[in-house]
Each structure stands twice: as C-alpha cells, then as structure tokens.
C-alpha cells in the first residue's frame, strides 16, 4: 500500500518534470525561430531605408528650383503667375488648430508666422 503511494508520487514528479522540460524546449524553439527571422527583417529594413533614400532624392530633384522653373515654362503651366509682394499674407502657425480648440475651450500657443500666398492677380 505504501509502495503504491511512493510510486504514484514518483510518477507525478516525473510527469511534472517532463511537462517543465517540454515547456522549456518549446520556449527555446520559439526563441531560436525569432533569432532566425532577425537577419531577414534587418535586410527588409535596410531595403526600405534605401528605397526611402532613393525616393527622397527623386523628390528633391523634382522640387529643385531649376526643375520648377523648367516646369513653369511649359504651356500647361503658363496660366500660373508669381504672386506680388502685397498679395502675400502671413498667418500665425496653427491658427486653424487654435480656432478649433478654442471651440472646445483649450487655446493653443502661437508658435511663429509663416508666409502664405493667397493668390496672384493677372
């Protein structure tokens, strides 16, 4: 009778130890799987950064003053005129946000003034 109690305790301990060992091995497998994914993710991040750099270079080329002046000489943009100095109005930065938050009762501090071209007269 007493040997059955000891045998059952030993079996419970062995089962518990086996479950702990299985859990540990499973966790190590998860960690190893994640470690194997790190180089692939690093390569994807590097590729995305290179693509961002290339696209930023293209944006800078397009927005360059020389390219914009070249585009302005095309016939489809001939109707656009440069604004005169008196047509340029400055507006406090964040004014629209300030008005919308004042409706809620939370005024925002005004940061600086930015030039804003309203329109050009022909």
pLDDT of residue 120: 45
Q: How much is the pTM?
A: 0.49
The DSSP element (H or E) to which 113 belongs, if any, is strand 113-117
Q: Are 98 and 108 a contacting pair, CB within 8 Å?
A: yes
Regions in the chain scoring below 50 on pLDDT: 116, 120-122
Classified as helix, coil or strand, 58 is: helix
Return d(Cα 2, Cα 13) in angstroms, integer: 17
Give the pLDDT confidence score for residue 8 in this predicted structure. 93
- Dig out the tokens for 61 from the structure: 């080329």
């Amino acid at each position: 009778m007493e040997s059955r109690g000891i045998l059952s305790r030993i079996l419970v301990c062995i089962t518990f130890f086996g479950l702990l060992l299985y859990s540990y091995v499973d966790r190590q497998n998860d960690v190893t799987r994640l470690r194997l994914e790190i180089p692939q993710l690093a390569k994807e991040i590097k590729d995305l950064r290179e693509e961002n750099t290339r696209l930023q270079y293209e944006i800078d080329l397009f927005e360059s003053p020389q390219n914009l002046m070249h585009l302005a000489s095309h016939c489809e943009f001939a109707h656009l005129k440069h604004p005169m100095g008196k047509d340029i109005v400055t507006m406090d930065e964040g004014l629209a946000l300030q008005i919308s938050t004042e409706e809620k009762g939370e005024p925002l501090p005004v940061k600086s003034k930015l030039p804003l071209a309203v329109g050009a007269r022909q």
